[in-house]
């Protein structure tokens, strides 16, 4: 298929040459001007049709959504909005699109409507921009780690372990639904559902990642993870992609440095390589903001927000310091935060995180040293007996984007904590082996990829930054 991508033509195609382009018709005006898009950029290529010398039947088939191939001469455009256009000498219809039935009209559709036709929403400017940015961010993640000698480790999707110990797993089964294995008391036996063993979809590749790091030094995973929590929020998916680096000989400070460097690197990569798309998304948000009352509009636009994130150090404070700040804030008639006065030890609610990031510090915040009761079993225990070497990174407009920790490398302390939390040490014997043979300080974190894409695109709902969102009752395509 000899064809030139529209992005390349608009960026510097040689006028006077003959070109072939292929794409989908966005609009066809006055029987003369086709706006053609091939997904390489949001900017359409204008095709000028010599309608007097074109078959009437063919003209009728140039409709919104149709796939066409055009050959013609690239010429300088006299019209506004583009530098070059194509004067068509031949047009071929590759695939018709019945304008009466095609769900996408050349007008602005709501994101809610587009979510219902997720199979076609790729063809809109907004989703074109979002998925090109998503692609760049994924590439940048690999580039960042590869440049530093990390090994990309493929951890399993199907596993028997519950890495987070939170019980939010989807079972994997190969048994006959009509005739499942049963326990003696007659209940379905989920301990046997994967060829006679228990198995579920992974909630995190961390535990396996730690095994890799205990030999390869620095590894990262980047793959889908699954949570069976029944969350219908704009920040949760049942299937999301996570990036989980794990580094031997790292402590919590090294871990924070690594996470901050990663975030800044990938954001700056997207700003550089997807400038056009991020500018488009910035403009889109500004339009949206105009509908809101003045006091609810954000102070910075999307581009400035991203740049600000690059230019400033993330704030680093402990959970205990954060509680003090929230407590003080609640003295100032902010009733919402009042309940925190009662208890050190409570998990932060999203409004608390928002207060810290958006109102108090006005920049990304890394919270460390959480109470051990609200964190996973594998985090390294501090000498105070109350807190662990945890870190969460909170981002404006997003909340928690990264969760991580220094790991408990001391076998006795780890076993003791697992026992306290009723996590079966026998089942995780292989994990504990790394603490028996050549244990060393190490640390890692998980970056929620969709939350990162949310931040960089300025989109408001996590279902709009993954091509095929999985959330309760949604798995059709």
The CA distance from 396 to 456, in Å, is: 11
CB 202, CB 163: distance < 8 Å: yes
Enumerate binding residues for ligand 4AD (CB under 6 A): 163-164, 204, 206, 227, 236-237, 240, 242, 244, 400-404, 444-446, 448, 450-451
* Smallest separation, CB 398 to ligand 4AD (Å): 8
The CA distance from 320 to 338, in Å, is: 16
* Smallest separation, CB 443 to Mg ion (Å): 15
Stretch that binds Mg ion, among 126-134, 238-246, 399-407, 469-477 (CB under 5 A): 399-407
237 binds, among Mg ion, ligand 4AD, none (CB under 5 to 8 A by kind): ligand 4AD
- Per DSSP, what are the bridge partners of residue 371? 387
The CA distance from 36 to 43, in Å, is: 9
Residue whose Cβ sits closest to Mg ion: 403
Report the residue number, 403 or 458, with the smaller CB distance to Mg ion. Answer: 403
240 binds, among ligand 4AD, Mg ion, none (CB under 5 to 8 A by kind): ligand 4AD
* Smallest separation, CB 406 to ligand 4AD (Å): 10
User: How many CA atoms, within 13 angstroms, populate the side-chain half-sphere of residue 447?
Assistant: 25
Report the residue number, 70 or 163, with the smaller CB distance to ligand 4AD. Answer: 163
Report the residue number, 232 or 312, with the smaller CB distance to ligand 4AD. Answer: 232
Alpha helices in 404-448 (DSSP H): 411-420, 429-436
* Smallest separation, CB 471 to ligand 4AD (Å): 9
469 binds, among Mg ion, ligand 4AD, none (CB under 5 to 8 A by kind): none
Report the residue number, 9 or 242, with the smaller CB distance to ligand 4AD. Answer: 242
Stretch that binds Mg ion, among 276-284, 311-319, 369-377, 395-403 (CB under 5 A): 395-403
* Smallest separation, CB 302 to ligand 4AD (Å): 19
List the structure tokens of 344: 């050190």
Report the residue number, 34 or 393, with the smaller CB distance to ligand 4AD. Answer: 393
CB 242, CB 448: distance < 8 Å: yes
127 binds, among Mg ion, ligand 4AD, none (CB under 5 to 8 A by kind): none
The CA distance from 381 to 389, in Å, is: 6
448 binds, among ligand 4AD, Mg ion, none (CB under 5 to 8 A by kind): ligand 4AD
Helices (H) and strands (E) in the chain, counts: 13, 15
Q: Is 129 helix (H, G, I), strand (E, B) or coil?
A: helix
Q: Rounded to 5 degrees, what angle do the CA atoms 394, 397, 400 make?
A: 25
404 binds, among ligand 4AD, Mg ion, none (CB under 5 to 8 A by kind): ligand 4AD
What CA–CA distances, in Å, run from 237 to 160, 314, 457?
Answer: 21, 26, 17
* Smallest separation, CB 168 to ligand 4AD (Å): 8
As a 3-state breakdown, the chain gives helix, strand, coil percent values, each rounded to 5, of 35, 25, 40
Tally Cβ neighbours within 10 Å of residue 148.
14
236 binds, among ligand 4AD, Mg ion, none (CB under 5 to 8 A by kind): ligand 4AD
List the structure tokens of 169: 């797993």
Report the residue number, 193 or 392, with the smaller CB distance to ligand 4AD. Answer: 392
396 binds, among ligand 4AD, Mg ion, none (CB under 5 to 8 A by kind): none
The 348-387 contact track toward Mg ion, x by CB under 5 A, reads ----------------------------------------
Helix axes 275-290, 252-273, angle to 10 degrees: 90
134 binds, among ligand 4AD, Mg ion, none (CB under 5 to 8 A by kind): none
457 binds, among Mg ion, ligand 4AD, none (CB under 5 to 8 A by kind): none
* Smallest separation, CB 134 to ligand 4AD (Å): 14
Report how far Cα 339 is from the mean position of its chain's Cα atoms: 32
CB 375, CB 388: distance < 8 Å: yes
CB 225, CB 208: distance < 8 Å: no
Report the residue number, 54 or 461, with the smaller CB distance to ligand 4AD. Answer: 461
**Where do the DSSP E strands lie in 307-436?**
315-318, 365-371, 387-395, 399-406
Helix (H) or strand (E) run with residue 245 in it: strand 239-248
403 is an interface residue for Mg ion by CB under 5 A: yes
Number of shown-chain residues binding Mg ion (CB under 5 A): 1
CB 390, CB 374: distance < 8 Å: no
The CA distance from 477 to 469, in Å, is: 9
Helix (H) or strand (E) run with residue 253 in it: helix 252-273
* Smallest separation, CB 155 to ligand 4AD (Å): 10
454 binds, among ligand 4AD, Mg ion, none (CB under 5 to 8 A by kind): none
* Smallest separation, CB 377 to ligand 4AD (Å): 11
Report the residue number, 163 or 267, with the smaller CB distance to ligand 4AD. Answer: 163
* Smallest separation, CB 163 to ligand 4AD (Å): 5
Residue whose Cβ sits closest to ligand 4AD: 448
In the complex, the residues that contact Mg ion under the rule CB under 5 A are 403
């Amino acid at each position: 298929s000899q064809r030139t991508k529209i992005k390349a033509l608009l960026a510097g195609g040689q006028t006077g040459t003959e070109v072939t382009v292929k794409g989908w018709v966005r609009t066809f005006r006055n029987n003369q001007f086709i706006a053609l898009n091939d997904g390489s950029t949001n900017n359409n290529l204008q095709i000028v049709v010599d309608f007097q010398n074109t078959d009437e039947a063919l003209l009728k088939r140039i409709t919104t959504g149709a796939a066409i191939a055009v050959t013609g001469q690239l010429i300088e455009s006299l019209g506004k909005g583009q530098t070059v256009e194509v004067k068509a000498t031949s047009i071929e219809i590759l695939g018709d699109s019945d304008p009466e039935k095609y769900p996408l009209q050349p007008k602005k559709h709501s994101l809610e409507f587009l979510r219902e036709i997720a199979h076609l929403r790729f063809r809109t400017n907004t989703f074109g921009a979002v998925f090109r940015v998503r692609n760049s961010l994924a590439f940048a993640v690999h580039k960042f780690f590869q440049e530093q000698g990390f090994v990309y480790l493929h951890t399993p999707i199907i596993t028997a372990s519950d890495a987070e110990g939170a019980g939010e797993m989807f079972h994997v089964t190969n048994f006959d639904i009509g005739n499942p294995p049963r326990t003696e008391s007659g209940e379905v036996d989920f301990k046997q559902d994967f060829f006679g063993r228990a198995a579920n979809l992974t909630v995190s590749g961390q535990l396996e990642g730690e095994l890799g790091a205990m030999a390869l030094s620095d590894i990262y995973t980047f793959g889908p993870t699954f949570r069976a929590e029944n969350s219908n929020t704009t920040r949760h998916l049942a299937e999301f992609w996570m990036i989980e680096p794990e580094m031997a000989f790292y402590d919590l400070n090294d871990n924070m440095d690594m996470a901050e460097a990663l975030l800044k690197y990938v954001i700056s990569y997207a700003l550089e390589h997807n400038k056009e798309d991020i500018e488009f998304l910035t403009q889109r948000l500004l339009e949206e903001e105009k509908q809101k009352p003045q006091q609810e509009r954000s102070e910075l636009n999307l581009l400035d927000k991203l740049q600000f994130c690059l230019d400033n150090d993330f704030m680093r404070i402990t959970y205990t310091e954060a509680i003090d700040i929230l407590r003080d804030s609640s003295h100032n008639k902010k009733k919402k935060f009042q309940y925190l006065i009662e208890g050190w030890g409570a998990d932060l609610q999203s409004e608390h995180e928002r207060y810290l990031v958006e109102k108090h510090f006005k920049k990304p915040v890394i919270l460390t040293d959480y109470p051990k009761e609200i964190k996973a079993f594998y985090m390294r225990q501090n000498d105070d007996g109350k807190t662990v070497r945890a870190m969460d990174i909170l981002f404006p407009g997003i909340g928690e984007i990264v969760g991580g920790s220094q790991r408990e490398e001391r076998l006795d302390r780890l076993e003791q904590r697992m026992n306290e939390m009723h996590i079966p040490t026998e089942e995780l014997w292989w994990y504990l082996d790394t603490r028996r043979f050549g244990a060393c300080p190490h640390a890692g974190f998980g970056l929620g990829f969709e939350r990162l894409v949310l931040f960089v695109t300025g989109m408001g709902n996590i279902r709009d930054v993954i091509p095929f969102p999985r959330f309760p009752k949604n798995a059709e395509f």
